[in-house]
Chains A and B, each alone.
Chain A
């Protein structure tokens, strides 16, 4: 800045006043640029993150030769629907989707109930060994099903339930994440509410059902969203637990396309797109809850 910085405007000449006004404008310009810069960076980042999707959607609408052509067509006109046709009618895709939705839905439904119950117990009830149980769950929280393949598979074989829906649904119920989430939520509820219920003579279960549950509805939604998405994406265990074709879940089926069918890129991209449709819609509709998942994690600290 020139030596005219800080000149007293009222007593300065018109020329000086203009110079100072220029400094003010420069400061404003600097701020606007910073804002634009941010948008630029974010635009670039989101482009990099999202461009592959567009690319895949494109490919799914091209037939075999178009895919390999160079320079690549950027707009799918006319769209080739053969890939989708093949996907829906010649592979087990619809069955896979059904299976996934069934399994994920069941797990979600069951877990919402048992996790909130357990969370309530850990948060508000006095039980012997509560601390020990809590600690045990905390420590094993991060152990994934994938690390337990050997014994789980042995167990499933021994019980004779391999290749059944049971095998797909039961083990994921063990994950304690939901319990912690619910506990966190329920801890936030003031004790007075339940005490009032107790004074009114309600049984513990009635308190849980009538007082606590309605109050934690948003938490339940977040929980459901988290569990559902996790189940939707799970791969290792379903891969191992089921071998027959009509029990394949989405992730396993799609992986099978890769290893069995030879390099049919069109089909693969159609599969990719179709897999994303339910989750994509789900996410779009429930944005807030999805992002609340991360918030819940941050709050956990």
Chain B
């Protein structure tokens, strides 16, 4: 059903309603539960066909946002547009979105075939049509041999695929996935991740994926939306978010082991500006910043610190406390100067041992600077 322009004919600039550039738009959405603020003003535009991941810790509002898009909850304020149409008052079934639940929500008293066909049956599609769609989805998800089984006869991975299938048969405008992989064991999770991506490339529909696992987000997303306490912290491609985090929270949440954070201050000493960090770690770049004196935090990822020889002028002494080897990498936990601890990534083969004294320096360009409020400061030369 397509709406037309307003009674005044609209201006040339008014697009045909229902044909927005974006698949889903979220404007100023807020959600309170009594005194609890689950979402505090969220704006987001989702491109058609993209795989966008809502990432954040528990309670950040990502699942709430998903449910609001689905229509399972109403926003306290704000608007949701699906396919260019205002969806606020539309029932979930009328919104043309399909959802994959964390616990799959398969109908336990129906066979896989009936589960898959249910959405189509509810929309009164012809029986042959339903049969065709169901079998197509089944073959796509390798469920053809399970069609006549019941959910409790299936493994976790299979159930998940049925849940996916049920969403796929509807050919909706967008898929909404609420932590679908978190109930699977680690190995299965990795497998399903690539399967989901494969599926997405084939089917190509807009997908909104909610997770608290940043590895999932980084590996699967076209774009990542990092959320915390009901607000969006940053939106961008995974590489963006990783290399240029918008604030301290994003910087430490994304990436494992987390980014090292070193507190320091920008001061003017003898007319020249210096950054004074722990144990004398210096960041000449900081001095070039056009900022008043004040507190400054420097963030460096473990791979941004390198072990150097004692004679390196930029090197700083550190004491290795702990060595954790993970495959070909080793992560050193070391104390620098007056009690600051950092994590350093080195090759496992050449790794220093525990208790050793080493020297480390910051790789050029690896430092990220954060002001007192936690937002990242663009370095000169950066596009920000």
Max chain A C-beta neighbours (<10 A), residue from B4, B79, B89: B89
In angstroms, how far is the closest chain A Cβ from the Cβ of B27?
8
Spot the interface stretch: B10-18, B168-176, B266-274. Answer: B10-18
1/0 contact string of A4-19 vs chain B (CB within 8 Å): 1111111111011000
Q: Is the CB of B86 within 8 A of A20?
A: yes
CA distance A27 to B91 in the complex (A): 9
Q: Is the CB of B89 within 8 A of A23?
A: yes
In angstroms, how far is the closest chain A Cβ from the Cβ of B89?
4
CA distance A16 to B17 in the complex (A): 12
For the complex, count residues of B whose C-beta is within 8 A of A. 22
Say if the beta carbon of B331 comes within 8 Å of chain A. no
1/0 contact string of A136-175 vs chain B (CB within 8 Å): 0000000000000000000000000000000000000000
Q: Is the CB of B6 within 8 A of A3?
A: no
A-B CB contact pairs (8 Å), 25 listed: A3-B1, A3-B3, A4-B4, A5-B1, A5-B3, A5-B85, A6-B17, A6-B18, A6-B84, A7-B3, A7-B85, A7-B86, A8-B86, A11-B13, A11-B15, A12-B6, A13-B6, A13-B8, A13-B10, A15-B7, A15-B8, A16-B6, A16-B7, A24-B88, A24-B89
Say if the beta carbon of B20 comes within 8 Å of chain A. yes
CA distance A86 to B15 in the complex (A): 87
Say if the beta carbon of B370 comes within 8 Å of chain A. no
CA distance A110 to B6 in the complex (A): 80
CA distance A253 to B6 in the complex (A): 80
- Which residues on B sit within 8 Å (CB–CB) of A20? 86
In angstroms, how far is the closest chain A Cβ from the Cβ of B92?
13
> Which of the residues B6, B8, B13 comes within 8 Å of A7, measured between beta carbons?
B6
In angstroms, how far is the closest chain B Cβ from the Cβ of A28?
8
- Which residues on B sit within 8 Å (CB–CB) of A6? 1-3, 17-18, 84-86
Q: A8-B81, A12-B14 are in contact. List 7 more A-B contacts (CB 8 A).
A: A4-B3, A6-B84, A8-B15, A8-B20, A9-B86, A12-B6, A13-B10
Interface of B is mostly: loop
- Which residues on B sit within 8 Å (CB–CB) of A8? 15, 17-18, 20, 81, 84-86
Q: Name the CB-closest residue of B to A25.
A: B89
Q: Is the CB of B89 within 8 A of A27?
A: yes
Interface of A is mostly: helix
Closest 9 CB pairs of A and B: A6-B85, A13-B6, A27-B89, A24-B89, A16-B6, A8-B17, A6-B3, A7-B17, A7-B3
A interface residues with partner B (beta carbon < 8 Å): 3-13, 15-16, 20, 23-24, 26-27
> Which of the residues A12, A15, A23, A27 comes within 8 Å of B17, measured between beta carbons?
A12
- Which residues on A sit within 8 Å (CB–CB) of B84? 6, 8
In angstroms, how far is the closest chain A Cβ from the Cβ of B206?
18
In angstroms, how far is the closest chain A Cβ from the Cβ of B17?
5
Give chain B interface residues in 1-60, CB to chain A under 8 Å: 1-4, 6-8, 10, 13-15, 17-18, 20, 27
- Which residues on A sit within 8 Å (CB–CB) of B79? 9
- Which residues on A sit within 8 Å (CB–CB) of B17? 6-8, 11-12
- Which residues on A sit within 8 Å (CB–CB) of B14? 11-12
Q: Name the CB-closest residue of A to B87.
A: A6
Give chain B interface residues in 67-124, CB to chain A under 8 Å: 79, 81, 84-86, 88-89
In angstroms, how far is the closest chain A Cβ from the Cβ of B222?
24
- Which residues on B sit within 8 Å (CB–CB) of A23? 89
CA distance A9 to B4 in the complex (A): 12
CA distance A3 to B2 in the complex (A): 8
- Which residues on A sit within 8 Å (CB–CB) of B18? 6, 8
In angstroms, how far is the closest chain A Cβ from the Cβ of B137?
28
Q: Name the CB-closest residue of A to B16.
A: A8
CA distance A3 to B6 in the complex (A): 10
CA distance A9 to B88 in the complex (A): 11
In angstroms, how far is the closest chain A Cβ from the Cβ of B70?
16
CA distance A124 to B139 in the complex (A): 49
Q: Name the CB-closest residue of A to B9.
A: A13
